[in-house]
Homo-oligomer: A and B are copies of this chain.
């Protein structure tokens, strides 16, 4: 497994790799867990070679976000990536990615208006900008993202379609702990008690799904039920609980067709997100 630190070397390498076969790509911020490894396996199944990037992208963090606290452990990431037969790890410096007079941003409008786009202004602009850069550096045939970041998945797909990137986007189902908690690099922030209570997130999503499956069409009532259940966990601080359509990601009043139930909830300093797609 090769580790590449500069953009120039990565571009030369992937130009060569693409001549030898198909290239899969998994962008990550490191602090890898089983969810990330599933993305790598999905890329491996589809492509001859797989590049994984490990880069904590400063421009997707707001001033109050956890950029500096975000967990970093490249030695561990590297071992895990070697174990799932990653071919190349792209591990650039912040200066390499964002020189002093950096000035260019990519933005997807509309889809970023609600959910995490509302709670974290500028977050998706940071995501779409770094993904554009990484696509131009790695030039993959296929790029793999997780369903856990549902809004990100929609936004990236729209960006790829709008800007005509010649990249196939694959979305992989959320990997969960045995008790249902979605795997996340931020779970390491949780105290034992917070970790225990955080199971309420997936439980509440399943409750919402059950209500819709049994005929409830009033989004307000479903959201109320979710909030009530989440509040049974005393350490939970709700950021949002929302039900949106899956074409524009705008809140719906009446549930019909496919909807995304999405939530963001703080437990201590960990802001956890989770979601389910449900057909009404």
One of A31-39, A73-81, A132-140, A188-196 at the interface: A132-140
Interface string of A159-178 (1 = CB under 8 A from B): 10111111000000000000
Which B residues are CB-close (under 8 A) to A108?
Answer: 103-104
Residues of B within 8 Å of A110, CB to CB, are 101, 103
Residues 244 to 258 of chain A near chain B (Cβ within 8 Å): 247-248
Q: Would A104 and B107 be within 8 Å (CB), given that A136-B163, A137-B164 are in contact?
A: yes
Chain B residues with CB below 8 A from A164, complex form: 7, 11, 133, 136-137
Chain B, Cβ-Cβ closest to A14: B166
Q: In the bound complex, how far is the Cα of B248 from the Cα of A73, in angstroms?
A: 38
* Interface size class of chain A, counting residues whose CB lies under 8 Å from the partner chain: 20 to 34
Please encode chain A, from 136 to 155, with 1 for each CB lying within 8 Å of some chain B CB and 0 for all others.
11010000000000000000
**Contact (Cβ within 8 A) B104 A105:** no
Of B103, B136, B159, the residue contacting A166 (CB under 8 A) is B136
Neighbour of A128 across the interface among B104, B111, B158, CB < 8 A? B104
Looking across the interface, which residue of chain B has its beta carbon closest to that of A98? B162
The verdict on A109 contacting chain B, using a C-beta distance below 8 Å, is: yes
Residue A106, interface by CB 8 Å: yes
Whether A106 and B106, one on each chain, are in contact in the complex, defined by CB atoms closer than 8 angstroms, is yes
Q: Is the CB of B104 within 8 A of A159?
A: yes
Q: Which residues of A contact B (CB under 8 A)?
A: 7, 11, 15, 99, 101-111, 128-129, 132-133, 136-137, 139, 158-159, 161-166, 247-248
Those 5 A-B pairs whose CB atoms lie nearest each other, nearest first: A104-B162, A136-B164, A103-B109, A103-B110, A104-B108
A selection of 27 A-B contacts at a CB cut-off of 8 Å is A7-B164, A11-B166, A15-B166, A99-B161, A101-B110, A101-B248, A103-B108, A103-B109, A103-B110, A103-B158, A103-B162, A104-B109, A104-B128, A104-B159, A104-B162, A105-B106, A105-B107, A105-B109, A106-B132, A106-B163, A107-B107, A129-B163, A132-B132, A132-B163, A136-B164, A137-B164, A139-B166
